[in-house]
Amino acid sequence: MDKLFEALQMLVVFATIAFIVKIALEYGTRKKLIDKGLVDENVRHLFNYAAPAASSLKWGMVLTGIGIAVLIGRLVPYRWEEEMTISLMFILAGLALIIYYVIAPKLRNRSNGGKQ
């Protein structure tokens, strides 16, 4: 039974790697098609080149919120340390995502030159 479980684990690992490579190659192909102009305008918005900067901002805000939560959790008394840290991580990460949700349309409008 252990050997079957090990074989299944290896199968899952290799299938996951193959799936990630497939997605990366498809993305590259689609990006090249869009750059050459071989697709219509309805598909171009799916590959917005301003997205990586906005995505970095979002994840930077979330990770900063989690870091602040861990810092605050370490400052509270030992009795409530774990509960406080975990709850603050969810609260501050969620708050960061809400703030990003408010900021993101303004960033997109600025990067598009005010066009929607």
pLDDT band at 26; cut points 50, 70, 90: confident
Q: For residues 88 and 39, give the distance between their C-alpha atoms in angstroms, rounded to a whole number.
A: 45
Cα torsion through 75, 79, 85, 86, rounded to 10: 180
* 92 CB burial (10 A radius; 0-12, 13-18, 19+): buried
- 18 vs 57, which has greater pLDDT? 18
Residue 26 to residues 29, 37, 55, 81, 106: CA-CA distances in angstroms? 5, 17, 20, 45, 30
CB 82 within 8 A of CB 109: no
- 41 vs 91, which has greater pLDDT? 91
CB 86 within 8 A of CB 76: no
Mean pLDDT of 9-36: 85
**pTM, entire model:** 0.49
**pLDDT at position 2:** 77
